[in-house]
Structure 1
Amino acid sequence: MQFGSFENDGIIFLIAFLLISGVFAAKFSNRIGLPSLVLFILVGMLIGSDGLGFIYFDNAEIAQMIGILALIIILFEGGLQTKWKTVRPVAVPSISLATLGVLLTSLITGFAVHLVLDVSWPEAFLFGAIVGSTDAAAVFAAIKERNIKAKLGATLEAESGTNDPMAVFLTIMFIEIINQPDTSFWNMFPSFLWQMGVGLLLGIGIGRLASFSINRISLESSGLYPIFTLSFGLITYSVASLLEASGFLAVYVAALVIGNLELTYRYSISQFNEGFAWMAQILMFVILGLLAFPEHVFQIDVITQGLIISFVLIFIARPLAVYASLIKMKYSNREKLFLSWAGLRGAVPIVLATFPIVAGLDNAALFFNIIFFVVLTSALVQGSTINVLASKLGLMGPVKDTPHHSIELISIAKANAEMVQFQANQDNDVVGHKLKDIDFPKRATISAIVRGDRLITPYGDTEIKPGDFLYILVSRKYKDELKKMLNKKKDQK
């Protein structure tokens, strides 16, 4: 298709309009407690052919490609922000939810789909597999900035970051069973083990390589470091896919490794990826909204069937899967109830719903419409009530103290020095001491202290208090010594 200058200008204007609409939608969603993905999707449906008619879009392959690329960016950003010390205690239950939980959710939902839609068992279980996993984009957006208990937030984030391989595996397997009835689950099971194992190893290996490269390379501009970092996320997915391993798992693990190792220009890298992930999320959900035609999604039959399946998924399948996956694990009934409710569906089921369309299955269009409706139902019902339920169950944690400030050198690599950010906690040995009484390493200088919303100029008599953010300029040679001193506990001798 040929585009003239007017058409090109129109496309650029439309992209700008979508991004601006997405930003305002995100702001509006926070005020009313509605997940932003719902508003993004509605924007796409509004400008589509059944709405204002600005765009006609029905290419499932392009939507699938955009969705996969956006999910890579979102997973990468989520992994960078995840702290290993928070995830490590919940690694086993998260993996159990990401594997056994997805399998049980898929099977239980499949039984309901078989009865409601009157389709074959393989088709019913295919539907269940598509909606069986929680969505990283939806969960990260819902949990971020909310004061859910750290244990539960970490469980949900780790589960959503690692459960895509099981969902993708089951989706592809049931498509193959439908197309080739003699295909066996047990024949494909070694493939699943390969995908998980190789994906995990690739993520760890490339993550360590990325961290080493980022810290050793000297670039002319600080703006190149975030781009260099993100490129490793894309490479990780590509290499994993070429080896027929799980690209999504590899990307998340690689980002988790990078984010928890020493990283130069950490703040710039974090801010860039956060903004880019928001842009990817906006465009992805808008595109998926364009792919759905309201006149098809909101038919009375689709609504009725979608509500029944949503009820089974939300109130039966997910809770049973959570309770079964967390048997003999240290979660209270209240925590299990919350994890059951917070299993949001989002972009992943819609993207996976394009797989049957691309494969040319008979009921692909019907499945897409109902799955789209199920995702909207999950986002509206569950996503808008997460905070309320957590509060009612007494599962709210302390207010998150995330610094919205940064002090960072422009030429940190060339200066052979770094600006270390450290938040003082009550149990740190430095708390309660004056700066002049603290034995800082050589070539370490306190540049600033941020206390609440105030910037404090450090003097020798300045006392460090709990919650203070310290910004310390230190030579790389003495960085490890500085961190060891800062992290020393009061009861350590």
Structure 2
Amino acid sequence: MEKVCIILAALIFSSIYSLKLSKKFNIPTLIIYLGVGMLAGSEGFGGIEFDNAGLAQFIGNLALCIILFSGAYNTDIKEVSAVKKEGLALAFAGVFFNTVLVAVPIYFFTPFDFFGALLFGAIVSSTDASAVMSILSFGGLNIKDKVRGILKLESGTNDPMANVIIILLINIIKLGNIGIIQGLVFLSLQILVGAVAGFIFSKLTVKFINKFEIKMQELHQLIILGSILFTYGFTNILKGNGFMAIYILGITLGNTRLSYKRNMGRFFGSLSWMVEVGMFVMLGILVFPSRFLAIWKLGLAVSLVLIFLARPLSVFITLSKSGLDKREKLFIAWGGLKGAVPIVFATFPLVEGIVNAELIFNLVFFVVLLSVIFQGMTLPFASSYLGLKETKSKVFEKGDLENLEYFEESLVKVKVRNEGEVAEKKISEIGLPKDILLILINRKGKHILPKGDTVIETGDELYILGESSEEIENYITKALETINSTDEKQQA
């Protein structure tokens, strides 16, 4: 037990330090975590024996739910709305084209049969949100908003499409009697049921939170965590795609007015980071590096086909009518990083006992390593070479309220009583001292920015800021006896 705790602590500290290395040397954090896992595995210094593909798939799916939800929750719908056509086209049509373009050479030059080649193509077709964001955000790569938005939207939404195609192909390989019409219906229902289920469960989650009026942010976090697990599981029972439901759940909740919304974003961001590190290390332990010696030539050839042929062609075909210029399309093609998602998807054939499943897994792992190293480390150069690096600093940026935490002891929430003289008066008429500010009014769930001519109504909750909470309470007691200040202090 003690050794496990020390190992976990070392992983946490090393993951934080790896951010600094990632930014300094343009090394995607994914490659560091996978490397740690391989070193900790049975063929590394750690000697940890782990070859349970079923358990790895289970843990990987749960981790992907958290990572996918966090990315969607922290996505501003306004940021991606301008590029929704391009991003969604790459997420759906782009995945299909990429699958076919990879499958053709795989079928003719490898041991895979037709559907096995398609299965491999589908597994490596999705870009990885974690790998992309580790470069765009944590790596400090500042590119033009339009291109950034397309890459973010694509990487967050193409996993469900790839997952659906993989499930369909595995069923075809195992059952062998699924027709084209039946397959298209399956694909459509998976996506549609997943999207509708995610939207419905997001609305139910908001109603649940609002109905019970829970004031503890920790319970809000647990409610949403429970909603993630329930949405994924129940959507799969309904024969929908759980990952699609999770993405819709996250982006809907993230763009809905909720209490403690910013803190929940931070919580799920931290949780996502933790499960991401654990998942990458686990996948690194699962692989046997010595087996790369037998497939490195084939792996290199497949990687070159994917990076220089399939991905660029799928991007240019999909975005042919988008209005993007050649430089932007080239960068989007180069920015299609692979990551943990294809590796998790590569465990599906292993669990289902598909022919050549072990070869698929090792090839996918090898392709991911080359993609992350080769493409990930050269993205900053590519953005500069193609003239897409943003050189102008933004005049306005979203504020970070963490630096205002010291105000939390100086912020008091009070409620206006119906028998008081303050009710039905303008703010300018109640004589607030200069060193006390009324910063917000909550009126039946609607937030109002107060002005001098704003009329205070009975039942309003007033958020008052001063030098200290004691100063505000003294003022309320002496000068505003018409306000019921028995409510608790509001933690900012």
TM range (shorter): 0.7 to 0.9
Q: Deviations along 1:219-238, whole A, 9 cap, x unmatched? A: 45333332323322222212
| Separation in structure 1 between the aligned mates of residue 219 and residue 180 of structure 2, nearest angstrom | 46
Tell me the matched-pair count. 429
Q: Are 2:70 and 1:77 equivalent residues in the alignment?
A: yes
Partners in 2 of 1:254 and 1:346 — Cα distance? 23
State the shift of 1:115 in Å. Answer: 2.9
Structure-2 change in CA distance of 1:385 and 1:365 (3 Å): same
- In structure 2, the residue corresponding to 1:382 is in which secondary structure? helix
SS in 2 for 1:174: helix
Q: Partners in 2 of 1:88 and 1:413 — Cα distance?
A: 36
Q: Contact 2:92/2:158 (CA < 8 Å) preserved in 1?
A: yes
Aligned CA distance change for structure 1 residues 70 and 393 (closer, same or farther; 3 Å): same
Q: Deviations over 1:167-189 (max 9, x none)?
A: 11221222222223333233121
1:71 and 1:137 in contact (8 A); partners too: no
Structure 2 distance, partners of 1:202, 1:208, is 10
**Structure 1 residues 442, 285: closer, same or farther in 2, change over 3 A?**
farther
Alignment map for 1:105-254 (pairs within 5 Å):
105-145=98-138, 146-215=141-210, 217-219=212-214, 221-254=216-249
Q: Secondary structure of the residue that 1:163 maps to in structure 2? A: helix
Query: 2: CA distance between counterparts of 1:260 and 1:168?
Result: 25
Matching residue of 1:464: none
Q: Does 1:362 align with 2:355?
A: yes
Distance 1:192 1:484 in 2: 53
Match of 1:30 in 2: 23
Task: Give secondary structure in 1 for the equivalent of 2:322.
Answer: coil
Q: Offset of 1:209 from its aligned partner? A: 2.9
What is the CA RMSD across the aligned residues, in angstroms?
Answer: 2.8
In the TM superposition, what are the counterparts of 1:390-429 in structure 2 within 5 Å? 390-397=383-390, 398-399=392-393, 401=397, 403-406=399-402, 407=404, 415=413
Q: Could you tell me whether the CA contact under 8 Å between 2:132 and 2:152 is conserved in 1?
A: yes
Question: Measured at CA, do residues 228 and 286 of structure 1 come closer, stay the same or move farther in structure 2, by a change above 3 Å?
Answer: same
Is 1:266 the counterpart of 2:264? The answer is no
Aligned residue in 2 for 1:474: 440
Deviation sequence 1:201-248 (CA, Å, 0-9, x none): 122222233334445544453333323233222222122111111111
Aligned-partner Cα distance in 2 for 1:260–1:62: 34
CA 1:20–1:54 in 2, change beyond 3 Å: closer, same or farther? Answer: farther
Q: Which amino acid aligns with 2:14?
A: S
Contact 2:61/2:344 (CA < 8 Å) preserved in 1? Answer: yes
Aligned counterpart, 1:433: none
Partner of 2:250: 255
- 1:64 equivalent in structure 2: 57
405-414 vs 221-230, which moves further: 405-414
The CA distance in 2 between the partners of 1:276 and 1:323, in whole Å, is 36
Q: Match for 1:72: what amino acid?
A: C
In structure 1, the gaps of 5 or more residues are: 1-7, 418-440, 444-457, 461-470, 486-493
Residue 135 of structure 1 aligns to which amino acid in structure 2? D
The separation in 2 between residues aligned to 1:154 and 1:442, in whole angstroms, is 43
* Contact 2:202-2:249 within 8 A present in 1 as well: yes
Task: Assess, with a 3 A threshold, how the Cα gap between structure 1 residues 386 and 403 changes in structure 2: closer, same or farther.
Answer: farther
Displacement of 1:317 after TM fit?
0.4
Which range is displaced more, 163-172 or 74-83? 163-172
Cα 1:442–1:208 shift into 2, 3 Å: farther
Q: Which residue of 2 aligns with 1:55?
A: 48
Q: Is the 8 A contact 1:77 1:277 kept in 2?
A: yes
Do the aligned partners of 1:222 and 1:411 also contact (CA within 8 Å) in 2?
no
Distance 1:474 1:94 in 2: 38
Deviation, structure 1 residue 357: 0.6
Distance 1:97 1:133 in 2: 10
Q: 1 CA distance for matches of 2:386 and 2:299?
A: 29
Give distance in 2, aligned partners of 1:210 and 1:141. 30
Task: In structure 2, list runs of 5 or more residues that go unmatched.
Answer: 416-425, 429-433, 453-492
Residue 260 of structure 1: CA displacement?
1.1
Structure 1, residues 52-98: CA drift from partner, whole Å, max 9, x if none? 13411111011111111111111111111111111112112212111
Q: Tell me the residue number matched to 2:325.
A: 332
Question: Which amino acid counterpart does residue 340 of structure 2 have in structure 1?
Answer: A
- Is 2:441–2:448's contact at 8 Å kept on the other side of the alignment? no
8 Å CA contact 1:78, 1:140 repeated in 2: no
Mean Cα deviation higher: 51-60 or 113-122: 113-122
CA contact (8 A) 1:199 1:250 kept: yes
Residues 92 and 442 of structure 1, relative CA distance in 2, 3 Å threshold: farther
Structure 2 CA distance for aligned equivalents of residues 483 and 114 of structure 1: 67
Q: Kindly state the Cα deviation for residue 399 of structure 1 after the two structures are TM-superposed.
A: 4.4
1:119 shift after superposition: 2.0
Q: Is this contact kept in 2: 1:131–1:371, CA < 8 A?
A: yes
Change (3 A) 1:183 1:412: farther
Amino-acid identity (%): 37
The alignment partner of 1:223 has SS state of helix
CA, structure 1 residues 404+482, in 2 after alignment: closer, same or farther (shift >3 Å)?
closer
Give the C-alpha shift of residue 309 in structure 1.
0.6
Query: Bigger CA drift: 113-122 or 213-222?
Result: 213-222
Tell me what 2:283 maps to.
288
8 Å Cα contact 1:206/1:236 also seen in 2: yes
The one-letter amino acid of 2:309's match is I
Query: What is the DSSP-based 3-state SS (H/G/I as helix, E as strand, rest coil) of the residue aligned with 1:348?
Result: helix
Could you give the per-residue CA deviations for residues 139-177 of structure 1, whole angstroms, max 9, x where no partner exists? 232222532222112211211221122211221222222
